[in-house]
Structure 1
């Protein structure tokens, strides 16, 4: 047996004891061969690394994430993720699939990456139904069965349609869940289960869903885990009170730390490693935080060859200079050094070769001033309007009603203290335009627009000034998609995303700076949220409580009932 590499004198993480031991590691053929306190030099390695004073942990595994949230293709994302010690991901590519359907998913599958990227089948394209939101692609039972034949497809992605799961036995999502369980009875079925409890939680689990990654509270953690659901913690759920519940009940076997969505500007500062640090800061012991980003996620997804440093497993590991801060010295993938501290992110020599139409996918008309004049059939001075109220933390919203002045027969929304939001169907299918009003959005004059609108990715523009809304929408069309912030006709921030209106092939450092400028411009206009970009982009997500908007208009997330802009006229 030819030994390729020996790591000597390291403090090695034992996943089964959840502790560190002084060991030497022998690696051969891309796998761990022998881990021992004995001198391994008699094995005559090709290379030896002295890791005295350093720590070795398994490569991080992110089992619920969306590559598209980084706004770069898999081939560019690979180097960025590896630089942060992430060696395996399970990606739910429902963003590119909402835009291009199965063709988008297949384009991702064809990309060659050093990072191991496995996929969960996008189970909710669209997230609700075609009657409630227009998408470019559609995933039905036939498409799901097709994808199940691909060896890199190892899970069913988050099932999100609340009404379809809880109240409609013959809905498309229920059909997909049933057929998947027949075809692959041991396939992990991921869920999107926000604010769901009691009998509704039982209905999700009865349909086969066994995991949730949405915003958690101490109460939801206890209820879901004690009822047998596996929980995946994204950043907004990594809170001291939540970590305390896990510690109190020793729930570590039933949780994993994940990213879900990491925006391009945040990716400049970290990926899953940043959430591990956040968990430690919130009170999770270091050893448990490592365990919940390596071994429990591997076990959840059925991996039999990674997640721990043991003989026969893939030699995916990280050398740490400092355990308390998780300061990365080097990252190894399949026993090969792929990143060292201070080195630039590795990018492929060539950009991904997507079809030409991937770069020309925004097919809606330019807004006109008349589009933003909302007529009201009343002689009264005000009307009562239904309004989307944004929260300062997370992506949940609440429905409220506000009185808005009527001027010359039109809604005087520009002087209401609210923002007008418009969602335009962008695929050239029906020309739908949905209208809504938003509270706690922009407090200054201006507008923000995007084609990165969860999950249907229609064109969305929101503003307090009609001229700025027109300027933002027109500029967005010229860029073939992205994010734009405008004030007084001037562009304050611009982030072009020409691939499907959701991706760019520029280096992540460039893209991150562009998105940061957009984020800063939104803050300057008064947007206040723990994640301004995500908050805005999910105003169009009709499966995230409690009121959202699509190209069909505002809707109640749980009932799917349409919510009219004008609640009542006096």
Structure 2
């Protein structure tokens, strides 16, 4: 909340009675709330917008920037993103997205919370405060994601209450356990009760839920959903009063399919990335990439900008973000155009935005596969169906037994000595092994392809690194990316991480892999709340039937 003395000083600056700190002169201001673009000078004081002044109006400020006709839009807000999925710490993530116009994110840190519990959320908020980016968060609601998962920590309703009280936490994170919601699971409803009691937003997550069950899910008090993949699903969610989060990340690309709905200009819609890799952030951009896709798909630029500015700010109750307007935070971006959304400069609190590069220590959460791993074998029941992997979606299909191409192994990384294997198709991998310690949401170790010897070698290397990404071919570690922060993140510069991910992808392509983002795609093959087949250390899960496939 802005102190009253500062508010009074803003009034004086707005009236021309006191000079401002910054004057951006000669801009074309984009105001998504009114769907306007107009010429104005923007006067800033105390990190906030004091006034929008008529061109040529004489105003004083300690510093003047000449916009020279550039478009000045509110800073972009990603309303739902898992920072850990970029493999970067918050400081690294800030360094990757600030140049693309993103000034604020609402992180859903259930990755680090699955590993470390509420301590992980506290660390994420602390790291966010020193990152140079505005990092808010939602309190993970499903740790573990379902009864079929067991990670490094479990979060009870009492711990959810404690997380909701942390400064910077805006609401309850995505309620993935929709069967628990619909079937009256007491533990799930205890968590929902904490969200109700806090009077906060309750994010939804209802993959494949439609019809009467979607109505029931909305009636339970959830406010949004980012799992729509078809126009029909999107419209159902809007009709049910849910805010529509249109997802376009590295693992799930839904924007193109949902553009017909966005062209209808729904009042309650946003663009989110959910999960995005570091290499894609640097190569293609963040929310500015999504804006390009929207405009290319026929959405007027100012309507598109509302989806990443005033709409997410309204949804999350960030009442002084999302607009360039008096009293609002001076978080804005100078754009060369409104087609390609080329960013000239990003400002946070009236200052040119720079990532701080400071990350607090985090020593817990290393990978431990158990003493039996060194002699492990990875047999697969002959009758098990094949998991059909989809390159641009996090859902999987079901293929007949015997049609598999590469083995998938998921191993408990918290020392319990459990693992399971199944066959997959759709990856193209014909040799070598990819191993990772980032597996949504319990974040066990996952391995794709390879002989038993290569699988064991990849696991031992992950243990040695404490977590990360490795590629093993014929017993030799060919590529690796250590992730020392809870086995999920690195503090290496984003460009270094992106370059290493590209080398890993190229190495795997040489082994036949056809996945665009193999690390990101593999990281979702254990998520027990996304249809249809997923693998946990305890076996092959039929998500549609909500039961393990019999051995």
**Secondary structure at 1:310 match in 2:** coil
Q: Report how far residue 238 of structure 1 moved.
A: 4.6
Q: Report how far residue 91 of structure 1 moved.
A: 0.5
Partner of 2:145: 127
423, 443, 450: which is aligned to 1:437?
A: 423
Distance 1:48 1:544 in 2: 51
Partner of 1:192: 205
Instruction: Indicate how the Cα distance of structure 1 residues 147 and 443 shifts in structure 2: closer, same or farther if over 3 A, else same.
Output: closer
Partner of 1:255: 269
Are 1:388 and 1:400, in contact at CA under 8 Å, matched by a contact in 2? yes
Distance 2:372 2:299 in 1: 51
Are 1:420 and 1:464, in contact at CA under 8 Å, matched by a contact in 2? yes
Instruction: Indicate how the Cα distance of structure 1 residues 282 and 116 shifts in structure 2: closer, same or farther if over 3 A, else same.
Output: same
Are 2:406 and 2:430, in contact at CA under 8 Å, matched by a contact in 1? no
Q: Report how far residue 440 of structure 1 moved.
A: 2.1
Partner of 1:75: 91
Confirm whether residue 352 of structure 1 aligns to residue 360 of structure 2: yes
Q: Report how far residue 310 of structure 1 moved.
A: 0.8
Are 1:66 and 1:260, in contact at CA under 8 Å, matched by a contact in 2? yes
Partner of 2:488: 502
Q: Report how far residue 458 of structure 1 moved.
A: 0.7
Distance 1:18 1:370 in 2: 61
Q: Report how far residue 496 of structure 1 moved.
A: 1.4
Confirm whether residue 459 of structure 1 aligns to residue 445 of structure 2: yes
Partner of 1:331: 346
Correspondences of 1:137-148 after superposition (within 5 Å): 137-148=153-164
Partner of 1:537: 523
Q: Report how far residue 99 of structure 1 moved.
A: 0.5
More divergent stretch after superposition (471-480 vs 20-29) = 471-480
Are 1:434 and 1:549, in contact at CA under 8 Å, matched by a contact in 2? yes
Partner of 2:111: 95
Distance 2:57 2:368 in 1: 60
Q: Report how far residue 226 of structure 1 moved.
A: 1.7
Partner of 1:480: 466
State the 4+ residue runs in structure 1 displaced beyond 6 angstroms: none
TM-score by length of 1: 0.88
Partner of 2:12: none
Q: Report how far residue 38 of structure 1 moved.
A: 4.5
Are 2:84 and 2:488, in contact at CA under 8 Å, matched by a contact in 1? yes
Q: Report how far residue 63 of structure 1 moved.
A: 0.8
375, 378, 396: which is aligned to 1:372?
A: 378
Stretches of structure 2 that go unaligned for 5 or more consecutive residues are 1-17
Q: Report how far residue 282 of structure 1 moved.
A: 2.6
Confirm whether residue 490 of structure 1 aligns to residue 476 of structure 2: yes
- Cα deviation 1:244-295 (Å, max 9, x = unaligned): 2222x331x2111111111121122222222222222232221111111101
**Secondary structure at 2:43 match in 1:** strand
Distance 1:424 1:531 in 2: 21
More divergent stretch after superposition (281-290 vs 94-103) = 281-290
**Secondary structure at 1:208 match in 2:** coil
Distance 1:419 1:331 in 2: 44
Are 1:321 and 1:329, in contact at CA under 8 Å, matched by a contact in 2? yes
Instruction: Indicate how the Cα distance of structure 1 residues 370 and 351 shifts in structure 2: closer, same or farther if over 3 A, else same.
Output: closer
Confirm whether residue 31 of structure 1 aligns to residue 37 of structure 2: no
Partner of 2:229: 216
Are 1:101 and 1:139, in contact at CA under 8 Å, matched by a contact in 2? yes
Instruction: Indicate how the Cα distance of structure 1 residues 370 and 550 shifts in structure 2: closer, same or farther if over 3 A, else same.
Output: closer
297, 301, 317: which is aligned to 2:332?
A: 317
Partner of 1:388: 387
Confirm whether residue 425 of structure 1 aligns to residue 412 of structure 2: yes
Question: How many residues are matched?
Answer: 528
More divergent stretch after superposition (462-471 vs 144-153) = 462-471
TM-score by length of 2: 0.91
More divergent stretch after superposition (234-243 vs 286-295) = 234-243
Partner of 2:278: 264
Q: Report how far residue 320 of structure 1 moved.
A: 1.2
Distance 2:123 2:390 in 1: 36
Are 2:246 and 2:255, in contact at CA under 8 Å, matched by a contact in 1? no
RMSD between aligned alpha carbons? 2.0
Q: Report how far residue 60 of structure 1 moved.
A: 0.4
- Cα deviation 1:277-333 (Å, max 9, x = unaligned): 222223222111111110111111111101111111111001112232111111111
**Secondary structure at 1:242 match in 2:** helix
Distance 2:277 2:376 in 1: 35
Stretches of structure 1 that go unaligned for 5 or more consecutive residues are 340-345, 377-382, 404-415
95, 101, 125: which is aligned to 1:109?
A: 125
Distance 1:142 1:445 in 2: 47
Q: Report how far residue 36 of structure 1 moved.
A: 2.6
Partner of 2:307: 292
**Secondary structure at 2:377 match in 1:** helix
Q: Report how far residue 479 of structure 1 moved.
A: 1.5
Correspondences of 1:146-295 after superposition (within 5 Å): 146-167=162-183, 169-181=184-196, 183-185=197-199, 187-235=200-248, 236-247=252-263, 249-251=264-266, 253-269=267-283, 270-295=285-310
Q: Report how far residue 68 of structure 1 moved.
A: 0.6
Are 2:85 and 2:520, in contact at CA under 8 Å, matched by a contact in 1? no
Q: Report how far residue 366 of structure 1 moved.
A: 6.0
**Secondary structure at 1:457 match in 2:** coil
Q: Report how far residue 431 of structure 1 moved.
A: 1.9
Instruction: Indicate how the Cα distance of structure 1 residues 302 and 477 shifts in structure 2: closer, same or farther if over 3 A, else same.
Output: same
More divergent stretch after superposition (115-124 vs 464-473) = 464-473
More divergent stretch after superposition (235-244 vs 31-40) = 235-244
